[in-house]
Amino acid sequence: MGSIAPVEGKPTFKTPWVETPLAESASLSRMAGCRVFLKLENVQPSGSFKSRAMGNQILSHLIKPENANRPVHFYASSGGNAGLAAVCAARSLGYPCTVVVPMSTKPLMVQKLRTAGAAEVIQHGVTFLEAGEYMREVIMKQTGDGEAANVAKIALHPFDNEPIWEGNSTIIDELVHQLPPPAGADEETLYNARPLAADALICSVGGGGLLNGLIAGIERHRNLQNKAPSPHPTHLLAVETIGTDSLAAAVAQKSLVSLPKISSQATSLGAIRVSERTFQYATAPPAGIAVHSTVLSDADAARGVLRLADDERLLVELACGVCVEAAVGDAARAQQPPSRKRKRITTAEPQQQPHPSVRDEGYGDDRSSVTENETDPEDGSDDRSPLSASPSHPLQSRLKQLVPDLNANSRVVIIVCGGSNVTIDMAAEYRRLLQEGWGA
């Protein structure tokens, strides 16, 4: 059991996340018609941006005076990327972390939690809500063998508190110095008026912790640089999948609402209700920032996963791949009838179909999905992008639809949020399903 060691009256700790690279993608830039940069959060210690969120939340508890010189034990009720990040961060700082997940959590994730060094992985209940209640009301009230009587038992939230958003805002701190400096008078005029030399950021939304952090970071740097809001806003695309679109539902109804269930395979986006701060940012963003909520299908998300795997040699979850497709996908195919937009695949292997009550924090709106017709892979064509532009059928991504004034020199950053709930076999299954007509 770890304990806090004050240094000159203040506890100090190492940062349990790393600065991640920013890479410009030639292939995605060509498809998107603008400069596309990838912020590679998939290389964080836990495999996702959640290392920042959970790491900073843990640090916020460790520096509290009431926890000084006491043994500390952390508890998380997320069996997804937040739970894994909590374990990795706590272990790196020398503290134990117990994770409680529902019975429906996949064996792959349970094993990853154990391999990462979780003090204990407990499965209980049908939903994460039940698992969380059991964690707080039963597990955290138990006294383990040999456990100190004054142990500080701390429950961690997956997405909804200030320290989480502050942790995610460090992405902006890094982008400020990683993005190329403005080149030429036009770029200097445009980007010097902004706190960040980018036209748009694309991120996925589950509970909204990542979106909150990005906006908070932009606002902090605008204040530090003492800049008035630019007349040319920084655009943020908040991307969800059909069946996890809690932000979309809230924006459409102009009120915070909860989804009845999660019906998407992108379970890392599966918060049935976004945070209050996320809803406020989406409906009334700060001056100089424009938030666009958009929703794509699971099949679109799978196309994005395969684009990153094929073109960038990166393997990420559906919750991350959907951002790529929002940037480069053929939005003209969104004109399919609603019944086809919400077509569900029943031929996927059982372990890839989410339990309807399984949800995790994560990574939001526009009620249409992007769909494409697939071609026979044996004819030598690319099954992911079978269409070509023409005057009568221009190819236009969701990004270009929502931010139409982008040009070849515009800068767009995709937050490659990563995720651990993916394997090579799962990506191969996505390819097979797409070739057989998934989303067509």
pLDDT tens digit at each of 440 positions of the chain: 333 344 455 668 889 999 999 999 999 999 999 999 999 999 999 999 999 999 999 999 999 999 888 899 999 988 689 999 999 999 999 999 999 988 878 888 899 999 999 999 999 987 777 888 999 999 998 876 556 668 899 999 888 899 999 999 999 999 999 999 999 899 999 999 999 999 999 999 999 999 999 999 999 999 999 989 888 999 999 999 999 999 999 999 999 999 998 889 988 887 889 999 999 999 999 999 999 999 999 999 999 999 999 999 999 999 999 999 999 987 434 433 443 443 443 333 333 333 333 333 333 222 233 333 333 333 333 443 334 444 444 557 999 999 999 999 999 999 999 999 899 999 999 999 999 999 87
To which residue do tokens 């809230």 refer? Answer: 250
3-state secondary structure (DSSP) of residue 344:
coil
Angle, CA 400 vertex, CA 391 and CA 334 arms, to 5°: 75
Sorted by where each starts, the structural domains of the chain and their CATH numbers stand as 22-49+161-333+398-436 (3.40.50.1100), 50-156 (3.40.50.1100)
Q: What is the DSSP letter of 377?
A: G
Q: Residue 169's pLDDT is what?
A: 97
Prediction pTM value: 0.83
Residue 245 has a CB neighbour count (10 Å cut-off) of 28
Burial of 388 (0-12, 13-18, 19+ CB in 10 A): exposed
Element (H, E) at 73: strand 72-76
User: Does residue 362 come out as left (phi exceeding 0), alpha (psi in the -120 to 50 range) or beta?
Assistant: left
What span, in angstroms and rounded, lies between the C-alpha atoms of 430 and 306?
8
What span, in angstroms and rounded, lies between the C-alpha atoms of 127 and 365?
25
Positive or negative, the CA dihedral 399, 404, 407, 413 is: negative
Q: Residue 394's pLDDT is what?
A: 53
Burial of 140 (0-12, 13-18, 19+ CB in 10 A): middle
Element (H, E) at 22: strand 22-25
What span, in angstroms and rounded, lies between the C-alpha atoms of 266 and 287?
32
Supply φ then ψ for residue 47, to 5 degrees: 90, 5
Q: Residue 334's pLDDT is what?
A: 41
What span, in angstroms and rounded, lies between the C-alpha atoms of 115 and 88?
10
Antiparallel, parallel or unpaired: β 10-11 and 6-7: antiparallel
Residue 283 has a CB neighbour count (10 Å cut-off) of 14
What span, in angstroms and rounded, lies between the C-alpha atoms of 202 and 355?
28
Antiparallel, parallel or unpaired: β 289-296 and 152-156: unpaired
376-384 contact pairs (CB < 8 A, 24+): 376/435, 377/435, 383/431, 383/434, 383/435, 384/303, 384/306, 384/307, 384/310, 384/434
List Cα–Cα distances, 290 to 141, 200, 233, 255, in angstroms: 45, 9, 6, 19
CA atoms within 13 A on the CB side of 214: 32
Q: Residue 342's pLDDT is what?
A: 39
What span, in angstroms and rounded, lies between the C-alpha atoms of 360 and 77?
9
Q: Residue 194's pLDDT is what?
A: 94
Strand order of the β-sheet with 200-204 is 22-25, 35-40, 411-416, 200-204, 234-241, 289-296
Q: What is the DSSP letter of 226?
A: T
List Cα–Cα distances, 273 to 155, 269, 319, in angstroms: 20, 10, 16
